[in-house]
Structure 1
Amino acid sequence: MKTNAGNFFEDFTLGQVIEHATPRTITEGDRALYGAIYPTRYAIPSSAEFAASVGLSPHPVEELIGFHVAFGKTVPDVSLNAVANLGYAECRFHRPVVPGDTLRTRSEVIGLKQNSNGRTGVVWVRSTATDQRGEVVVDWARWVMVHKRSADAPAPETVVPDLAPAVAAADLVVPAGLDLSSYDTVAAGSPFLLGDYEVGERIDHVDGVTLTDAEHMMATRLWQNTAKVHFSTDARPDGRRLVYGGHVISLARALAYNGLANAQLVAAINAGAHVAPAFAGDTVHAWSEVLDAAELDAPGVGALRLRLVATRGRDESMTLRGKDGAYADGVLLDLDHWVLVPR
């Protein structure tokens, strides 16, 4: 057998370390395609001149480009036979990614739990992406529901990892040289700085994007994500292609520009849940809630902790959960993350 059928639930063992194949070099083409697929307008990844004016040269790409590429490396080994990616935690962006950087990823299995149906199980992994110098670019934990090869395979001992509810503001990594003390709000597109946002404030990002099969499959191929459910109508009983959850994250992040244009850099993802599946034809809207704010030990740099919510259709009431505590109908994504902003 020379082909790779992917790992099933019973192929994973606690403590297993997987070195993922195919290092990937980031190019200016990635920046261009990302901008063609998502309506992103943040000034730092859009303008080399603006990036240099705040101390970032060479010109970095969007943090989520690095995340998607690093994540894509893990798919053939971790989630090729996935039912769904369930969530993220403890994700930190350690350094900006620039064209010419080559990323490779390794993962360690940190948790296992067979589901009660006996046909699937949840696998927790901690993944680390490094560049060509061996320096950590991004690391994160995620959990994914994976099919079993055989329902008769014995269940492993249940181990559910204890993951932090959030990355502390003091543990955020500020890129070397970043200086927002002379930040150009006109060029960035918004006058609102750290002190203009209040904890508890909710921001409707207004705009929406309708998903198409062509675009979400192109994006997912760009990241070399090979999960069957995103491409093959044979992979799901309903014959529909499931949109990669990261595609929804990038759409929501891009839509958040309208109201958070100065949220220039993603510093960490504290927690994330893909609440409901998304498919071609769905129109994605987004809103944000300010959860926390902090001044950081770098010139002119602050941080906002945001809940970014993507919905199927626009929800002007910005309702996350119903009275029963369950997610409201139409919620696709609940992403708790830190962004760096001028203060």
Structure 2
Amino acid sequence: MTDWTDSRTFSNALERAETLEKGSCFEDFSEGQTIEHAAGLTLSAHANELWMSQTLNHDPVYWRSDAARAVGYDDSPIHPDYLLASVMGPSVEDLSEKGGYFLGRDDVSIHDPTVAPGTEIRVESMVEAKRESSSRPDYGIVTWETTGFDAETGDSLLSYTRTNMIPRREPMATDGGRESPTDSRATGETDDSGLPSEFVSPDGPYFEDFRDAHERTTNRDAAVAYRHERGRTMDDVMVATLPLVTLNTAKQHHNDDYMADSPSGEIVAYGDVTRSVALGHARSDERTYREIGYGDEQFHDFVTVGDTIYGFTRVLATEDTDDSEAGEVTFEHYAFNQRDEPVYSGTRTALIQKRNQ
């Protein structure tokens, strides 16, 4: 039986697996196109104060209700800088995650200066223009108008236009891709690590995509296995703060002095943070409907500040259900670091949304 967490085997698997890329290329946009961004958030008082304190925005209107009432507000509203960041953030995955120069933002308009903590926001963008780049043939230039709405009332809260250089698909496919694997994928032969001779990736994020990919591997020396494009570098907040806010007081997450003589030589990440990063990468490439359960979770190596965590997924099983909205998929997820070493593995079963919804 193949040990997928063996370092050499896993490295071979990574070399052969397709990466499910995130973000959009220049060719994906058309003038007049409207994009509803799936992500959105609830504007919280805590995040608002964290933003203001870390950016030295100490205007008492946004901190104290008496100061707010003195200038005509009922209470302290959300700071406009945090509101702007909260509207722009959800747009990144669909618009600019592929990279490219941020050429500018214009016409930032605060439509409601009294936005209160607890407001849920919805974000929408419209492609205003796209054009060729005379200086960078590998890129095009796209301008969007983005608006944040109160999700409950539909009222517009803030809008702006921004312009980015966006990579073209063809140059990325040739210049940015990995070299084609040799021998095992080209010839269909199984390599000496025991990995399947063929890797299959789903064509999309819906249940039918996972089911069809899994069916294509039936009775063949093949596996549905793919890597996720995003990575997350562990910083002090990830390693020390997140455990403490869950009341996890284990010394190995925040006491460098105690950990100096340990095998890692420094504080290490809480395993559930590493796990959550891996699952977050995976969920970004699927239409998760509901989580069902997890199993066989193992932590294979230390994760410390500065390590970058990536995700790799195998599909173990799919099962249709009587539910018209979702089908069941069982995954095996791996987290691995910048040295391609597995640091976490575990199984997960979830309901994945069907395409007809």
Q: Normalising TM by the smaller chain, what interval?
A: 0.3 to 0.5
**Higher helix proportion (structure 1 or 2):** 2
Greater relative contact order (Cα 8 A, min sep 6): structure 1 or 2? 1
Bigger radius of gyration, 1 or 2?
Answer: 2
Name the TM-score, length of structure 2 as normaliser.
0.42
